[in-house]
Structure 1
Amino acid sequence: MASKGKILALVSSGRGFPLKDGKIYKGAGYYLNELTVPTRALMKEGYEITFANPRGNTPQPDVNSETVDFFGGDAAKLQDYLLFRDGLMELRDPVRIADVIASGLDQYDAVFVPGGHGPMIDLLDDPDAGIVLRHFHETSKPTAVLCHGPISLLSALPNSWEFVAALAAGDVAGARAKAQGWIYAGYKMTIFSTAEEQQREPLEIGGKVLFYPDFALSTAGGDVSVLAPWKSYVLQDRELISGQNPFSDEAVLKVLLSVLNEKKKVAAAA
């Protein structure tokens, strides 16, 4: 099959998610279904996937995601996706985001950021992730972010590190002051909700997050909305496609494919 194009998938390099009271959640990484369901379908459609992260190290899966809960209760489906993931050489040996930028971002048709708590470790204030997102914003190319993945949008802030530090310190006014000039201000978007995070804190991460993802995006200037916990929910606003939680994986994929196909029709007709 001839290649339809290239998709850039940003994942975390992180090993350890800082929590309140000095705790560290060592199991943080990408959620299996959030990464594999969209990328596998995109590959079947003929797209090449480039996986990239800040350090170029093998990304860590969140072990809490390797369960049948996120695959419709189907153990065979879970195993199938585990085998697919294990066969992804590009995921085991990702490119550094800086190297992707150096090789040229124009070659990519879309960028995709799956969730899991990994993006909360490093993608939220990574300067290179910010360069990538600003490119896709400026060129109006699809930017699909899922569950905790939308937290990466903060990296496009002019002072992302300072914004995140202020929010982690509980300085909401200071964070708002650092949010001036955010390219996604006023965008309709969704992300893993406070209610969902509070349910998972005792069950999954064993502590409290430094700040809640939906509050962070709202503080930065996003028009954030969420549904009741664990309902599939996707919003599209301009180039941005965002999904609320792990159960939004297929819905995000559907919108992304629709946008990509429409862009190709327009390009072919031009």
Structure 2
Amino acid sequence: MVAGKILIILSDAHSFEVHKSDDTTSQEESGFFLSELAKPLIKLLDAQYAVTFASPNGKGPNIDPLSESTMLAFLGNWWQKNKENKLIDEMRLTNNLASPRPFASISNAELNTFDGVFIPGGHAPLTDLGNNPELGRILLHFHNQKKPTALICHGPYALLSTKYAPESPGFAYKGYNLTSWSDAEESLVETLKGGTIDKVESTLRGEGAVMITGTGQKLGSITVDREVVSGANPLAADALGTQFVEMLKGTQ
């Protein structure tokens, strides 16, 4: 028996911008971060939730190459990496991960059939989620209906889209306690890439969110405020998935 339906939001982008000191811009390969999608997805499927994938224009999503590094992303745990890769392959074959629903194809009436929404990270959301009016419409539905909303790493950047939704009153999550990929963590990536990258933490703070950061968050602690659960990085993926399922069950 299906426990409910979850909408999973992904980016169409396969890269993100790095702004160089000489005023040029490079495109760096990205996509969704493997474990940030797979670990919560496992929790949802184990709890018998059906999932539907959606993206701005329905393009097949890319996997962030760094997130498939056995040594860097999985600390040598080949078994876990293989498990998560197999799950993604299965979702491409048996679900609609290979061809997500375009945002505009999901009507307001259909949104009523979903119990929650989840947005994983990877740098790709910086490219096409933060200013998407259709995503803003979708997220405002879950916000206004107080339906569980889970976000991790760069995923919270998508919340900015609520500013651009039709007839939007502005950023919907002003005053919310949120955790995301921090500016300090991004600065390390900037050093590696040799340029500046749009920031999640400070941008959300500038819109009125209360950003919760610190050692606990960097080590996998999650932040819960009203209908939203958020996490900073891949270390939070397991806890985020568990909390999201508990929140979903609590609303049914």
**What residue in structure 2 maps to residue 47 of structure 1?**
49
Say if 2:208 is the partner of 1:221: yes
Between the aligned partners of 2:62 and 2:195, the Cα distance in structure 1 is 20
Residue aligned with 2:150, SS: strand
**What residue in structure 2 maps to residue 10 of structure 1?**
9
Say if 2:241 is the partner of 1:235: no
User: How does 1:117-196 map onto structure 2 within 5 Å?
Assistant: 117-158=123-164, 181-196=170-185
Say if 2:99 is the partner of 1:110: no
Deviation (angstroms), 1:54: 0.4
Contact 2:121 2:155 in 1 (8 A): yes
**What residue in structure 2 maps to residue 76 of structure 1?**
79
Between the aligned partners of 1:103 and 1:185, the Cα distance in structure 2 is 26
Residue aligned with 1:157, SS: helix
Contact 2:132 2:164 in 1 (8 A): no
User: How does 1:60-75 map onto structure 2 within 5 Å?
Assistant: 60-68=62-70, 69-71=72-74, 73-75=76-78
Say if 2:86 is the partner of 1:59: no
Contact 2:131 2:164 in 1 (8 A): no
Structure 2, unaligned runs of 5 or more: none
Between the aligned partners of 2:103 and 2:207, the Cα distance in structure 1 is 24
TM-score normalised by structure 2 residue count: 0.90
Deviation (angstroms), 1:207: 2.9
Aligned residues: percent identity? 33
Deviation (angstroms), 1:261: 1.5
Contact 2:7 2:117 in 1 (8 A): yes
TM-score normalised by structure 1 residue count: 0.85
Between the aligned partners of 1:73 and 1:45, the Cα distance in structure 2 is 28
Cα deviations by residue, 1:207-237 (Å, 9 ceiling, x for unpaired):
320x321000000110112123841121111
Q: Higher helix share goes to which structure?
A: 1
Detail structure 1 runs of 4+ shifted over 6 Å in the superposition: none
Deviation (angstroms), 1:39: 1.0
**What residue in structure 1 maps to residue 191 of structure 2?**
202
Paired residue type of 1:61: I
Contact 1:186 1:221 in 2 (8 A): yes
Between the aligned partners of 1:241 and 1:51, the Cα distance in structure 2 is 19
Residue aligned with 1:48, SS: strand
- Give the count of matched residue pairs: 243
| RMSD (CA atoms) | 1.9
Q: Is the alpha carbon distance of 1:103 and 1:86 closer, same or farther for their aligned partners in structure 2, counting shifts above 3 Å?
A: farther
Between the aligned partners of 2:15 and 2:29, the Cα distance in structure 1 is 7
Contact 2:120 2:153 in 1 (8 A): yes
Residue aligned with 1:39, SS: helix
